[in-house]
Amino acid sequence: MESKIITLDNGLDVNVNIWGTKNNTSVILLHGLGSTGSSFDELATILSQNYNVYAFDLPGHGGSTYFNNEHCFSMDSLADWVKEVISYFNLEDFHIVGHSVGGYIGLVFAKKFSLKSLILLDGGYIRAKSIPENRLEEELRMTEQHMENFTFSSWEDYEKGLSIDGLSQRQIELSKDSMKSENGIIKLIVTSHVAKYIVKQKYNEPTRETLSDVNSPVLILRSTIPKDFNVIRNSEANRLKQCVNVSIIDVMDATHDIYWDQPMFLSEQISNWLINH
């Protein structure tokens, strides 16, 4: 993995991780809220055997700077930001793979711009407002609470906590790019206000207006844990089918951290999809 900081015309810095060579079709990986592009390292390393892979840190995440304005974190504005980064590298022949929030951005990108195909990794297709009793005010409150509570007294304490949660040492090391040490406390790089901007802006996505203008083929690789969420998964996927040319594959024994839970299976399914699109 090669990492580099680029500067866009608007002055924003973007941390970009790159795997593979420039001679192949490109795959753009978009991460979720609070994460970074380097979190894709295991999946990207496998895909880079046949593809040129890019993963950007979203604004306010990892090594990427941002404008402190809620409008800049709308899915529409973030899709424009992705387009600027892609244009910086003069990429024309590419697919987008979006996890979680990255999937919502990917769908809006597919509405506005041309791409070969879009792959959603357990993200993008479920409206937060469709989840029973999931009110925006409560989601914003829980987001702020998580940001305040997800802190550690040392890197050793951080590693211990994530190890208890079942993460491998490699995953723990990759996750450190999303954290920082500030005044002796280990905390997320993304701030509470940025996190709440994103939660608020994606609450109603994907809208019918977004979906009606998506012309690219879409593949959903969706988690199966927890099982009691399958009713919502199926309902929202069926809604997508009404507007979009979509294929769906259930990933067994996978949580929302789908590309960490099943990287080999995902790489196989993504590669098979890319060959045909």
139-182: pLDDT as tens digits = 999 999 999 999 999 999 999 999 999 999 999 999 999 999 99
When pLDDT is cut at 50, 70 and 90, the band that residue 217 belongs to is very high
pLDDT surpasses 90 at 22: no
Domains of the chain: 2-128+206-275 (3.40.50.1820)
pLDDT for 34? 96
pLDDT for 114? 95
129-146: pLDDT as tens digits = 999 989 999 999 999 999
Average pLDDT of the chain to the nearest whole number: 96
Give the chain as a DSSP string. -EEEEEE-TTS-EEEEEEES-TTS-EEEEE--TT--GGGGHHHHHHHTTTSEEEEEPPTTSTT----S-GGGGSHHHHHHHHHHHHHHTT--SEEEEEETHHHHHHHHHHHHS--S-EEEES-SSS-GGGSTT--HHHHHHHHHHHHHH-EESSHHHHHHHHHHTT--HHHHHHHGGGEEEETTEEEESS-HHHHHHHHHHHTTPSPHHHHHT--S-EEEEE---SGGGHHHHHHHHHHHHTTS-EEEEE-TT--S-HHHH-HHHHHHHHHHHHHT-
**Mean pLDDT confidence for 178-195:** 96
When pLDDT is cut at 50, 70 and 90, the band that residue 24 belongs to is confident
pLDDT for 20? 93
pLDDT for 23? 75
When pLDDT is cut at 50, 70 and 90, the band that residue 21 belongs to is confident
